[in-house]
Structure 1
């Protein structure tokens, strides 16, 4: 983007911020931070509303996942850098043989060769065979407690996983997906297969001593390396003693008409995470969390893991208002990334730090290549042809989009849809959308000439006398991106236009083929490919496969990859699949935008951000030092 254009944008933003001064200044919440000398971090959140329920399974939208992950806990977190599962509620795990003997190396790591040897015979069995499973041993942190003082035990994990598997009690389709690789199955509320074993429920006779009865359990999972991913890192564990008596098949835990008891539990969460909800100081404009001083994880010296004693989330419904709030000192940090060009607003601010980090996520252009019958039309029929899609892909210039849309704050993304930072599985040979742009345009136009050579006065191609035009369904924040795609695709005679996605685009449009193209965020890692490749490129029922791709050869390769236990072979298959994905031109990468965020440093210093993170994250909460009481 040119310097003049950037200056104009920044001036426009400054004008907007000035106009909003009055509305920001009169808020009671805004005034609190300026006079607060306590160890309280004020966090700005940009959204339409705050959640009214703190049952962690109810919402994955907006700020809900952030709050839930601080009140509750999963068993582990996945470390993309090391490729390991870091301890949270559980501190140990391993694969075992079918007698429960650990399959580990001398240093305690996973012995993938022995895992492959032990379970190689199961690979030939059909997935429906109850003998086809792997055994996983989990040990909980013995110091973990719920915020009411009750110890966390394997019974809570059993309850949570069992509840996920039983849709009669959960009424939660997402929960079923989380445990889809757990060999623990219900049919209409009746348990048909058991796959969770504890001291009190140990039919196979796994080695669990009486001293371990509260902390050690075994799981039966599908013979897929990624089977543990969502079990370990997605399911937030619930306290059995709190929820069990409140739910039934008539009153499932995820209810739109909860009983008085259930509604109370929604509003007053009992968790085991690093923070607790301060119900008395939480409302529709502010969420207050206080540090759980009994949290079981600590620093190496035994001190509290998190340095921030209290967190207040402040709701802003406008991005410009939120940015102005941090400039004026009404908040300490934004729980959101900001457009890269907005960073210019903070260049001369002494007490504001701007953090910009890379991103494993990419924005992609998804084409509706196989709409349901009643959504087919002559224009969408063009997208079913891989050559036509190739022409569109060739005309997309990622470097220009990064410059124009992101003001240079981003990187190109490979056509194989796996980030080059995922060194173990990235395949450079799949990055086929490179080379001289003018040559790519010439090739794209040559392809499209096979479909239409007739053009209108603006140079757009015509089909049966009508302009070839596609709507790109997305949110208003992507209008710049669509505008610059218009410029690029006009060079090959294809028109694209912005179409507003609304509040619930999946249920309204995407799951029903009611779109031409859409923009979708994508990321694949070693821990997620087993689940996410299926979701994006195989499954048709309410999945991320919005364009309803059906490719039997690709599906077969993904299935083989999922069921391969030899790690080297699995990684090679992932690399091979990337080449197939690139040559389908179904989801075409546009760019990976840097994550730019801001934090004030006059009350807290030491904000940090890892890849894909804003300045507000758990690492920052561990690292920051409160200096607001030293002034």
Structure 2
């Protein structure tokens, strides 16, 4: 994902999906497991950045979500180690025949940390709170709601969300304007966590203001109230630590460790040094070049399943030669992606055949990768009258992404491939947050490197994000002969209620994108990792980077 935010198929059933909660585990849930003689009472994890706030609804970055995920819960959760949804605060859900009304049966016996009951009234209060945003929040930090629901109460006619009603104390009925593949899967996003209505009211939670180039948040954002296994103890900005403590009144299995500390260490090399010194127990996104050394030092490198895509974007509006399919195909045949995956990406990376990973419903298993074929690339360029064409090709600096661990090295390999078929590459670079993303959004490059990590399991979250909005997409498909039809096809597919029929429609679209349209070049899928000491037990790596720590222990 380009926006710093952050399930295998099982998202939404055709006409009726009901998932029932598993029986509560019989495992030891008392303090003995957390405070016994063989384990520490504190987990310390190295975070790359500080959280801006603790209200997940207004959060937009992975470091904030890493913290709030331990404290907050949603109606729908994520099965550990996968991208599949599972019951969380809702024990089951069922859609109407047209997919526009969803009935959620809620978990009994749950309370917010302030003692307030979790019930259908609380669920509907949360939905209405999220829906009713002021102009400042709607145009800024409430971005996840806008991405999923389309608009807010001020523009209710164009919103996906329509209403929420409590049919009884433990049943909430949510109405949406159309059937969509992303509902209810998108409710697994941290931004849609349930929070205490009493605390939200008392903390004036929606009072977001503009402050210079950023935003000002109400007091509630520093002291939220959720239902999760950990709750906020303190944020020590001077010592750069966030401390969470176990919620002893949690409805499920209690956290195995009494305290969870996130130590903010921006430099990756310093995080590694602190891990090896024993002052932290783990950290995220170790450099793939360090994986071997970390393992040999006795640490565990936990590799996440790849739920991402690296691609080379193309802008036919900026460079008209890219409007010719033969030119776009020539660029693809020119790229030695097998070699790129072997030399520049971590173990487990694969060559992409389409713009989504194979765990997402709608993935077309019949598609084969474009072959590396220098002569075919040259021939297609000649047929298109584009021999010796100039291509402005950009890459980002000052960044490492899960799908692109070293942008410059990846870029240099692809640039060499393009030059080998006679293309004159104009090299351009800019800092990730210092002009690169803005220039991509504003159509300033002919071609560029970028990628996407999925937020949840839905084809709409991948190819829908890229191509469904004809008027606003980085690939500028509005300048092509196929863009309008592709946009319509994606919108129509997303609205199909029957899951099998919808998956088949997306498979067809994936074939169309790769064989007929080729708006950009899907490069690879790359598994990111996190690393922990060998004293850490039961931390499960998540393809969504959605790890939870309640089950984790650290031996002394």
CA distance in 2 between partners of 1:538 and 1:395 (Å): 28
Q: Is 1:242 the counterpart of 2:199 in the alignment?
A: yes
CA distance in 1 between partners of 2:192 and 2:120 (Å): 14
Residue aligning to 1:590: 523
Q: What does the per-residue CA deviation read over 1:578-603, in whole Å, with 9 as the maximum and x for residues that have no partner? A: 1112132223222222223321124x
Residue aligning to 1:410: 349
Residue aligning to 1:515: 445
Q: What does the per-residue CA deviation read over 1:307-344, in whole Å, with 9 as the maximum and x for residues that have no partner? A: 2221111122221111122122121111x122322122
Q: What does the per-residue CA deviation read over 1:223-258, in whole Å, with 9 as the maximum and x for residues that have no partner? A: 2343323245451223221223554xxx94333359
SS of alignment partner, residue 256 of structure 1: strand
Residue aligning to 2:26: none
SS of alignment partner, residue 167 of structure 1: coil
Residue aligning to 2:185: 229
CA distance in 1 between partners of 2:260 and 2:384 (Å): 59
Q: Which runs of structure 2 are paired with 1:154-173 in the superposition (5 Å)? A: 154-168=120-134, 171-173=137-139
Q: Is 1:420 the counterpart of 2:358 in the alignment?
A: yes
Residue aligning to 1:111: none
Residue aligning to 1:559: 491
Q: What does the per-residue CA deviation read over 1:125-145, in whole Å, with 9 as the maximum and x for residues that have no partner? A: xxxxxxxx7221112222222
Q: 8 Å contact 2:56–2:193 — kept in the other structure?
A: yes
Q: Which runs of structure 2 are paired with 1:216-615 in the superposition (5 Å)? A: 216-221=171-176, 222-233=178-189, 234-244=191-201, 246-247=203-204, 252-257=206-211, 263-279=218-234, 281=236, 283=238, 285-298=240-253, 304=254, 306-334=255-283, 336-350=284-298, 352-370=299-317, 376=318, 380-406=319-345, 408-414=347-353, 416-422=354-360, 425-434=362-371, 437=372, 440-450=373-383, 461=388, 467-473=390-396, 475-477=398-400, 478-494=407-423, 495=425, 497-503=427-433, 505=435, 508-522=438-452, 527-539=457-469, 545-550=473-478, 551-583=483-515, 584-602=517-535, 604-611=536-543, 613=545
Residue aligning to 1:28: none
Unpaired runs of 5+ residues, structure 1, are 1-35, 97-114, 120-132, 200-207, 299-303, 371-375, 455-460
Q: 8 Å contact 1:419–1:523 — kept in the other structure?
A: no
CA 355–280 in structure 1, closer or farther in 2 if over 3 Å, else same: closer
Q: What does the per-residue CA deviation read over 1:392-451, in whole Å, with 9 as the maximum and x for residues that have no partner? A: 11112221111221254422222x2232344x53213333413xx3xx211111122245
CA 287–429 in structure 1, closer or farther in 2 if over 3 Å, else same: same
Q: What does the per-residue CA deviation read over 1:543-600, in whole Å, with 9 as the maximum and x for residues that have no partner? A: xx31222312212221221222222211110110111121322232222222233211
CA distance in 2 between partners of 1:502 and 1:194 (Å): 33
Q: 8 Å contact 1:287–1:313 — kept in the other structure?
A: yes
SS of alignment partner, residue 514 of structure 1: coil
Q: 8 Å contact 2:81–2:543 — kept in the other structure?
A: no
SS of alignment partner, residue 296 of structure 1: coil
CA 182–600 in structure 1, closer or farther in 2 if over 3 Å, else same: closer
Residue aligning to 1:112: none
CA distance in 2 between partners of 1:418 and 1:194 (Å): 26
CA distance in 1 between partners of 2:181 and 2:544 (Å): 25
Q: 8 Å contact 1:167–1:176 — kept in the other structure?
A: no
Residue aligning to 2:86: 86
Q: 8 Å contact 1:182–1:195 — kept in the other structure?
A: no
Query: Under a length normalisation based on structure 1, what TM-score does the superposition of the two structures give?
Result: 0.71
| Residue 119 of structure 2, aligned match among 129, 148, 153 | 153
Residue aligning to 2:28: none
CA 289–533 in structure 1, closer or farther in 2 if over 3 Å, else same: same
SS of alignment partner, residue 428 of structure 1: coil
CA distance in 2 between partners of 1:502 and 1:397 (Å): 25
- Give the structure with higher Rg (CA): 1
SS of alignment partner, residue 279 of structure 1: strand
CA 497–257 in structure 1, closer or farther in 2 if over 3 Å, else same: closer
Query: Higher relative contact order by CA 8 Å / sep ≥ 6: 1 or 2?
Result: 2
Q: 8 Å contact 2:310–2:524 — kept in the other structure?
A: yes
CA 158–170 in structure 1, closer or farther in 2 if over 3 Å, else same: farther
CA 345–532 in structure 1, closer or farther in 2 if over 3 Å, else same: closer
CA 230–594 in structure 1, closer or farther in 2 if over 3 Å, else same: closer
Residue aligning to 1:66: 66
Number of aligned residues = 501
